[in-house]
Amino acid sequence: MNQRVHLVTFDTASGASLPPTVVGKDEWVAHRQEPEDSELIAKAGRALAAMHAGEDNDALDRLITPRSATPGLVEAREIMLLLFSECSGMVASLGSGGTTPVKMQVYDDEGQEVPIDQADPPVRTAVRTLLAQVHGDSDSARDQIEIALTNAETEEVASLMLQALRWTMRLGLECLERELPVANWITEALR
């Protein structure tokens, strides 16, 4: 089932919802910090550029390391944490630095809302990871990714990585369009 996540911000003055930022299987999305690991940033940037060019498989190939499983899982975890951290910062920017409420909703192919606990495992993990990051709980975000890397099938981990890339791309494009802050490496990847 194809599931989409909607991030809706609200105007605090009127209470009206602003146009939603939609992130889903075919379009992805929000604690911002300039990362220090240049190799990791370069790898994530190349994958993001491939995603932006519509090359999902190439994007994923750029994230998968030919090294042994343990270093590969460590690197995968760090890349996903980097992407979700950047997404968190962009969500905060879209929500006026936390002054405008942001609501996340998951929808199925028929447009029906899906409770987070019934969402597909990669979608559920992505939403929980992003929510943890948005609320400043990096430990819980790391735990969500660790659980996925430890227990999920390879296809589900790949889906989670693609979702993190899609969200980073969609949020980055939305923030750039609204002239909100975006990490330099994301801006470069989206040119």
Answer whether 116's CB lies under 8 Å from 128's CB: yes
- The pTM of the full predicted model, rounded to 2 decimals, is 0.75
Q: Would you list the domain boundaries of the chain?
A: 4-189
What's the confidence (pLDDT) of residue 142? 92
User: Shortest CA distance to 167 belongs to which of 65, 93, 86?
Assistant: 86
What's the confidence (pLDDT) of residue 158? 85
The three-state secondary structure class of 8 is strand
Mean of all residue pLDDT scores within the chain: 77
Alpha-carbon Rg for the chain in angstroms: 16
From CA 50, how far away is CA 190, in angstroms rounded? 9
Angle between helices 138-151 and 121-134 (to 10 degrees): 160
Answer whether 86's CB lies under 8 Å from 186's CB: yes
pLDDT digits (tens, 9 = 90+) for 98-127: 566 667 778 888 888 888 888 888 888 888
DSSP string, 32-64: ----S-HHHHHHHHHHHHHHHTT-HHHHHHHHS
Answer whether 124's CB lies under 8 Å from 116's CB: yes
What's the confidence (pLDDT) of residue 99? 60
Token pair of 40 as six digits:
């990791």
Q: Which residues of the chain have pLDDT under 70?
A: 1-36, 64-72, 97-102
